[in-house]
């Protein structure tokens, strides 16, 4: 499990944040499925 905690006083509560994950550990997020891997709101 990964927990991400962030705060920003200028974002509204309904803001959706995309999370990119380097699933194959090649130091980029350009492979299929890595960009926008998950979202949080």
What is the residue-level pLDDT of the chain in tens, covering all 41 positions?
778 787 888 888 888 889 899 999 999 999 999 999 998 87
Angle at 35 between CA 14 and CA 6, to 5 degrees: 40
- Nearest Cα to Cα of residue 23 among 10, 14, 32, 13: 32
Q: What does the pLDDT read at residue 16? A: 87
Across-strand partners of 38? 19
- Nearest Cα to Cα of residue 21 among 41, 39, 6, 8: 39
Q: What does the pLDDT read at residue 9? A: 83
Q: What does the pLDDT read at residue 24? A: 95
């Amino acid at each position: 499990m990964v927990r991400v905690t962030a705060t920003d006083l200028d974002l509204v509560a309904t803001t959706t944040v995309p999370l990119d994950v380097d699933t194959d550990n090649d130091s980029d997020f350009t492979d299929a499925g890595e960009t926008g891997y998950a979202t949080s709101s």
